[in-house]
Amino acid sequence: MDTIIKKEHGNGGKQTFELINEVFKKAFENKFLEKADDATSLFVNSNDIAVSTDSFVVKPIFFEGGDIGKLSVCGTSNDLAVSGYRIRYLTTSFIIEEGFKFDDLIRIAESIGEYTRKMDAFVVAGDTKVVEKGACDGIFINTTGIGEKIEKFQSFIQVKDGQSIIASGDIGRHGACIYSHNQELGLEKPITSDCDLLYKPISEILGMYPNSVSYIKDLTRGGLATALNEISIKSGISIEINEEKLPISNEVLGISDILGLDPLYLACEGRFVIIVEDIIKKDVIEILKKYNLNACEIGKTIDDKKQKVYLKTLFGGTRIVDMLYFEMLPRIC
């Protein structure tokens, strides 16, 4: 364990995973945090609800396809959606640097209002702190969401051997968008982030197949590779994906080539992977294609007891895909 916090501890990869397990889970140990899911299920007077919280420090705060306000609603709503819940209430906490523009704050607040209303949810509490110049970089936002269980859905079944892994759309757009902006590449046609709400496709699938979905995970920091590793570790099963099937746009591949990035680790803010029984995979892909034409099956689960993620390459080989370890960009969300 390192003796000081480094940027890598905030990139959502292996060191973030270690930090959470070695510091926070030990200090906060209780039955609610055992699963370490994106949202925690709670029962209040027999009502099944869930809570999730997230902080947003993205740089830049305005980007192609969104801003830090939209991101803060989508991120927390999506954490609830992939756990089987619909967001109903939201709290917001703002840390604002002295000198921040009022017009920018209004624009961000309006984004939060717009995307909360899209979910028929309500902002019910909030807090504001203004800190001296240099104490933060413009604005940081924390949002906490309270969600109700999606109708019909009971709980995810166990991940098993031979199940299909489906991506809800093309991957890496948010990461590529933020990277291209921060590197000042001056692209003629900027890459648009995939930042979006995920509730509709997830609720449609869980409503139609409440007993045939084994797991859902949104792809945020650390990208597809880190998400699949988390699923593998939690389920105790290995995963094999095919490089030729991965939905990656030419724009994202181009940025990755220029900057020397691996698109498997680029963040998304509006994509997820879903593990389902093979018998329903075509129906699930058909539903997802209504929202993104690039949705497709990318691999299978395999029970070799090793808890690894394997990539079958275009050249016929196989390599292990680990969690993100090195620093890519901590302030991606």
pLDDT for 1 equals 67
CA angle, residues 110, 176, 226, in degrees to nearest 5: 100
Residues 207-225 have pLDDT tens digits of 999 999 999 999 999 999 9
Averaged over 32-59, what is the pLDDT? 90
Residue 4 has pLDDT above 70, yes or no: yes
Average pLDDT value over all residues in the chain: 93
Quickly tell me which residue has 């389920």 as its tokens: 235
The per-residue pLDDT for 17 is 85
Q: Round to whole Å and give the CA distance between 291 and 168.
A: 8
Q: Which residues pair with 89 in a beta bridge?
A: 122, 146
User: Can you give the pLDDT at residue 327?
Assistant: 66
Cβ–Cβ contacts within 10 Å for residue 103, how many? Answer: 8
Digit-coded pLDDT (tens) for 308-327: 999 999 999 999 999 887 76
H or E stretch covering 254 = helix 250-259
Least confident of 44-58, 144-158, 314-328: 314-328
Which pLDDT does position 13 carry in this prediction? 81
Residue 10 has pLDDT above 90, yes or no: no
> What residues form DSSP beta bridges with 333?
none
Q: How far is the CA of 261 from the CAs of 235, 247, 326, in angstroms?
A: 28, 16, 11
A 10 A CB-CB count for 137 gives 11
pLDDT at 185 over 90: no
Decide which of 280 and 323 is more confident.
280
Selected residue with higher pLDDT from 154 and 228: 228
* pLDDT score of 41 more than 80: yes
Q: What is the dihedral of CA 267, 16, 6, 51, to 10 degrees?
A: 80
Instruction: State which amino acid sits at residue 68.
Output: I
User: What local confidence, expressed as pLDDT, does residue 14 receive?
Assistant: 84
Q: How far apart are CA 8 and CA 278, in angstroms?
A: 37
pLDDT at 172: 96
* Cα-only R_g, the chain: 19
Identify which of 182, 153, 173, 28 has the alpha carbon closest to the alpha carbon of residue 80. 153
What's the pTM value of the predicted model, to 2 decimals?
0.94
Cβ atoms of 237 and 301 within 8 Å: the answer is yes
Percent of the chain scoring above 70 in pLDDT: 99
Is residue 202's pLDDT more than 90?
Answer: yes
Residue 215: closest CA among 301, 287, 163, 157: 157
pLDDT band at 33 (very low <50, low <70, confident <90, very high): confident
> How sure is the predictor about 189, in pLDDT bands with cuts at 50, 70 and 90?
confident
Reference 159, options 211, 81, 214; nearest CA is: 214
The reported pLDDT for the residue numbered 114 is 98
Q: What is the mean pLDDT of residues 31-55?
A: 89
CA nearest to 13, candidates 271, 221, 308: 221
Strand-pair partners of 41? 50
